[in-house]
Amino acid sequence: MSDNLAQKILREHLVSGELVTGSEIGISIDQTLTQDATGTMAYLQLETLDIDRVRTELSVSYVDHNTLQNSFENADDHRFLQTVAARYGIYFSRPGNGICHQVHLERFGAPGNTLLGSDSHTPTAGGLGMLAMGAGGLDVAVAMAGSPFYLTMPSIIKIELTGELPPWTGAKDVILEILRRLSVKGGVGKILEYGGDGLSGISLTERATIANMGAELGATTSIFPSDEITRNFLRAQGRENNWQPMQASEGAAYDEVISIDLSKLEPLAACPHSPDNVHPIRELGKVKVNQVAIGSCTNSSYEDLMLVARMLRGKVIHPDVSLVIAPGSKQVLEMLARENALADLINAGARILESACGPCIGMGQAPPSKGVSVRTFNRNFRGRSGTPDAGIYITGPAVAAATALQGYITDPRELGDIPRTAAPSQFLVDDGMIIPPPADGSSVEVVRGPNIKPLSRFDPLPDEIYEEVLLKVEDNITTDDIMPAGSKILPLRSNIPAISAYVFQPVDTNFASRAAEKGGGIVVGRENYGQGSSREHAALAPRHLGLKAVLARTFARIHHANLVNFGILPLLLPDDEGFRNIEEGDRIRIRQVRKTIEEGKLEVINETKGTTFTAGHQLTPRQVEIVKAGGLLNYVRQS
């Protein structure tokens, strides 16, 4: 059978359904990962599923998001995560060990395996030849309990890479070029599978960068073949036994092929305020910059930071620029230190942050008011940096380092020859910051701080919805808009009543109080509603406030699944006219919901306007039953 690579892995893990585009399939999950911003809720949910030990081959709990300990909440959550990992047979990566995606690439990922993570950038491991997908924490909890992960079978797009990257360009420019072509919704419902002779010049960590930012396209996942480059990386990590060759069969078919001649690429930047607002650096002019931030799960590898260190060696950053650098893992940081590259960074004036997500999720290092920050991160949504009126540009590490030196957004080709760097033949391996679980965790006491509140219980779907439209939003509303992050709000992730006060705060500061006063309501959106992170709190907290339904033209994949998992009805507006004819404050009635949802067509009556239209949905029969039950936990308990 001439399967492409994605089909091969899906077929090997298929539990239910057929590999027919648009139909629902269930696949078995080999590995899971969580991080602390989503993990506390995922493990609270796992505890309700009545198992003694996780049933995956490997599950890892990482602490990399909520590491800024302004008060007791984050430290308490870390203690909870460590004890619950020991209780249920989960590896625990301690604070300081690094960003989950970088560490998983280094120490756990295996070609041909499936990986489900409670973080939207889990597809980073696709650079290693894994079928790796982001999901809400509840989906990950259910997978840890041994159940399949269900998804709509995506179409599979081949990205054919030819030629060789010119000097001063890199993986970030490849994925920014794809974003420029396809937009932030161009990957929805798709798997991006990379191939072509250009792969021979793309290192493992560069592949991971490209796969990571497939999330910004809305793609289900991205995947690279497992070849000799993969084997060499795993050998250097002391894990060659995890390698196996994985590639598409000869003559494999794809739903679409997109060709990129790498030799024609140049340094690019995603300009404010969207990852697909991409322009060549040479066209931007001399944009004055206040801050440069290098790191995140996208560009914090050994190779990335060695390039930066070589560029900064013997130089000092511009006096008007603050440069912060966050190595992606303890392994990267220690290797930089042992090779004196860390000294080069420090001597140049860089401020070294801990190996964590940090400013990428608004956890410190906010730029100044109306400031410009150049970042090697993956998202530049308005306000995500912690400064609402800042302008955030996304670039690769070469552009970022050149900019830190010059004080304005700089094409690194202006600096002459690129310094020579290469991946090491052997990485420094020390897993002392990873705590393996005991053989039997049944006697382990799970420690809970006072900020960890019990899970809410939700009622089944009513037979009639009669609610007010609380909010109407435009295209590409993000999960950052719905449930913001940052150092003030992230510590409340295990306290749903407290965090619910911040729902839609960047969009409407009165939304939460209005929803609480009215006992719930409806939200209306347009295209790509819920793009961005996997944070299930963007569905869970609105449900806590009583949100009954979201009407939108289209939904982002993970957020749509999260709405279903918490019993919020995601309905499709029939056209743009339907969107225009609904306003905030309108009273909406949907009768016989439980019957008509099964038929796929629901009559929506706008009693304020005196109009009626038919809304559809993209729910599978299984998801219909989940919504009717009031969410996935209720559905599992009934099964």
pLDDT of 487 above 90? no
With CA atoms as reference, report the closest residue to 557 among 69, 148, 33, 24.
24
Pick from 512, 552, 561: nearest CA to 529: 552
Residues 6+ apart with CB under 8 A from 122: 33, 101, 115, 116, 132, 133, 134, 135, 534
- So what's the pLDDT on residue 254? 97
Of 267, 265, 201, the residue nearest 415 (C-alpha): 267
Spell out the residues 6+ positions from residue 636 whose beta carbon is closer than 8 angstroms to its own. 49, 142, 147
Determine how β-strand 24-27 pairs with β-strand 149-152: antiparallel
The residue type of 42 is A
Give the predicted TM-score (pTM) of the model. Answer: 0.95
- Cβ-based neighbour number of residue 542 at 10 Å: 28
Percent of the chain with pLDDT over 70: 100
Average pLDDT over the chain, rounded to an integer: 95
Task: Write out pLDDT tens, residues 509-544.
Answer: 999 999 999 999 999 999 999 998 888 999 999 999
Average pLDDT over residues 452-466: 92
The pLDDT of residue 363 is 81
- Is the pLDDT at 561 greater than 80? The verdict is yes
Instruction: Say whether domain 268-414 belongs to CATH 3.30.70.890.
Output: no
195 or 454, which is more confident: 195
Token representation of residue 82: 């460590």
Instruction: Decide if domain 5-264 falls under CATH 3.30.499.10.
Output: yes
Enclosing H/E stretch for 341 = helix 341-347
Q: Give the containing element (helix H, strand E) for 97.
A: none
Helices 228-236 and 204-212, packing angle to 10 deg? 100
Cβ atoms within 10 Å, residue 407: 17
The tokens describing 244, both together, are 């196996």
* Cα–Cα distance list, 135 to 117, 215, 500, 585 (Å): 6, 11, 21, 32
197 DSSP 8-state letter = G
Where residue 485 falls (left for φ over 0; alpha for ψ -120 to 50; beta otherwise) is beta
| Cβ atoms within 10 Å of 587's Cβ, excluding its own | 15
Q: Tell me which of 32 and 493 has the higher pLDDT.
A: 32
Nearest CA among 544, 356, 569, 357 for reference residue 462: 569
Summarised one tens digit per residue, pLDDT across range 354-380 is: 999 988 888 888 899 999 999 999 999
CATH topology of domain 465-638: Aconitase; domain 4 (3.20.19)
Confidence band for 491, pLDDT divided at 50, 70 and 90: confident
d(CA 201, CA 287): 32
Quote the pLDDT of residue 454: 87
- Domain ranges for the chain, please list them: 5-264, 268-414, 465-638
The residues facing 160 across adjacent strands are: 195, 259
DSSP 353: P
Is 639 a residue whose pLDDT tops 90?
no
Q: Work out the pLDDT band at 386, boundaries 50, 70, 90.
A: confident
DSSP, residue by residue, 402-422: HHHHHSB---GGGG-SPPP--
Average pLDDT in the 128-133 region? 98
Can 268-414 and 465-638 be said to share one CATH topology? no
- Res 49 pLDDT > 90: yes
| Of 589, 550, 588, residue with least CA distance to 572 | 550
Pairwise pLDDT comparison (326 vs 381), residue with the higher score: 326
pLDDT at 422: 84
Instruction: Please give the DSSP secondary-structure letter assigned to residue 544.
Output: H
198-218 confidence digits (pLDDT tens): 999 999 999 999 999 999 999
CA-CA distance, 505 to 508, in Å (whole number)? 5
And the tokens for 594? 């439980």
Q: What is the mean pLDDT of residues 230-248?
A: 98
List the single range of 149-163, 174-188, 569-583 with lowest mean pLDDT: 569-583
pLDDT tier, 228 (very low <50, low <70, confident <90, very high otherwise): very high
CA nearest neighbour of 485 among 386, 366, 374: 386
**∠ at Cα 614 (608, 616), nearest 5°?**
125
What pLDDT was estimated at residue 637? Answer: 85
Torsion (CA) 201, 155, 32, 454 in degrees, nearest 10:
140
- Structure confidence by residue, pLDDT tens digits, 156-165: 999 999 999 9
Cβ neighbors of 479 (< 8 A, separation 6 or more) are 530, 531, 532, 533, 534, 535, 538, 559
- When pLDDT is averaged across residues 394-405 and rounded to a whole number, the result is 98
Cα 72 to Cα 353: distance, rounded to the nearest angstrom? 21
% of the chain with per-residue pLDDT over 90:
90
Q: Are 230 and 204 in contact (CB under 8 A)?
A: yes
Q: What angle do helix axes 557-565 and 137-144 make, rounded to 10 degrees?
A: 70
Model confidence pLDDT, tens digit, residues 267-293: 999 999 999 999 999 999 999 999 999
Please indicate whether residue 303 or residue 636 has the higher confidence score (pLDDT). Answer: 303
Q: What is the pLDDT of residue 535?
A: 87
pLDDT value, residue 343: 98
